[in-house]
Each structure stands twice: as C-alpha cells, then as structure tokens.
Structure 1
Amino acid sequence: MKANIQNLLVKITHLLSVNGEKEWATTFEHFRKELEVDYDTTLIKIKHTFGGAGSFNDVVLHQNGQMLTSENRELNILQDQLYDAITAEIVRARGH
C-alpha cells in the first residue's frame, strides 16, 4: 500500500506542478519524502489536507482564466484514490 500511496503522490505532484499549482506540488512532494521518515504521522498529515476551507479538495486547475476540465477530472480521480488509500492505511495501522 505504501508504494501505491507514493505513486499517487508522484502523479498528483506532477499534475499540480505542470498546471501551475506549485505550492501544492511542493507540499505533496514533501509528503512523499516524509513517508520514508514517519509513515503513520505523514498519512495523518496528508489526510488533514482534505478538510476545511482552502483545502486540497478546493483546488481547481486553470490556465488563462479557463478551467482545465480534463486535468481537473484527473485530479479528482487521484484525490479520491489517495484519500481512500490513506484512510485504509490508517484503519489498518489502528488494527481495525
């Protein structure tokens, strides 16, 4: 599961980076590296990016004032996959 999460983070980082979301890209690249240092804590940190105002869920990719439809669709799929994978790992880690 760790490899899957890392792969999702790489895909998300790339998609964000090439579409001008440099700050979010940097954040997710940092998380990918941190998984090697403190896996369980980093999972929690990633999950926290999904909640609240200005969260990762609120990211909308756009260029020159135009929403990037296919890129946003891809991002939404990756977001869902990452959230599901992280949630499953957190549950597994707690022994439930």
Structure 2
Amino acid sequence: MQLHPEIADLADLLRNVEDHLAKHDETGWAGMVGRCRVAVEKSDAWGLHRFLAMFAGMGSLNDLVLQRDGTMLTTENDALREMLTKAWTLATKLQRDDVAQARGE
C-alpha cells in the first residue's frame, strides 16, 4: 500500500530525527521517535498523536539539548530544531485534517 504523500513525508522526517538522535547518543528519544515512525508508516494515527505528545510539558523533546562532554553541540542542535519544526508542523496539519475528516468537514 502506498502512503499518502504527506504521511510518507512525515515518516521520512521522523526517520531523520530518529537517526540524528541516535547518532548523538539520545537512544531513548530515538527509540520513542522510531516507534512513532513505525506507526505512521502503517497509517496508524497513534504515531502521529504520540509524536505530538512528546512536545508537551517539562522534560519534553522540545527541551532536549544535544551535548558532548558537557559542551552544547550548536550545529547539531540547530539541525535537530529544524527537523523537529518541520515534523511538528506537518504532524499538526495531518492531525487537523484527521479531526476535520472525522467531523465530516
């Protein structure tokens, strides 16, 4: 089954985030994003909603700062923020579309 282009784009973004986090030893976050990606690739809305939930509250994915040996990784954090912003923007659009479709709009 071929995914809707926007869903495929979100899955690709999540894979990039997952890989970036794993590369910088954030395996816990990488695993959580990976589980969301797998669900999204199956067109399971759980992955979409769970990914968006990762941005809520203290200690969220939004608060993550990549560092090595106590030094903040500026370029790597900038790249992560860019990927997260794109993924969050697309995920919120898909969530709005899903809600509108459920309402019959």
Q: Same fold (TM over 0.5)?
A: yes
The Cα shift of 1:55 comes to 0.3
Alignment of 1:1-96 (within 5 A): 1-37=6-42, 39-95=44-100
CA RMSD for the aligned pairs?
Answer: 1.2
The Cα shift of 1:36 comes to 3.7
Higher-Rg member (1/2): 2
TM-score norm. by structure 1 comes to 0.93
Instruction: Flag the structure with more relative contact order, 1 or 2, with Cα contacts below 8 A and sequence separation at least 6.
Output: 1
Task: Count how many residue pairs are aligned between Structure 1 and Structure 2.
Answer: 96
Q: Runs of 4+ in structure 1 displaced over 3 angstroms?
A: none
2: CA distance between counterparts of 1:7 and 1:87? Answer: 16
TM-score norm. by structure 2 comes to 0.86
The Cα shift of 1:43 comes to 1.0
Listed as ranges, the gaps of 5+ residues in structure 2 are: 1-5
User: Percent identity at matched positions?
Assistant: 27
Q: In structure 2, the residue corresponding to 1:94 is in which secondary structure?
A: helix
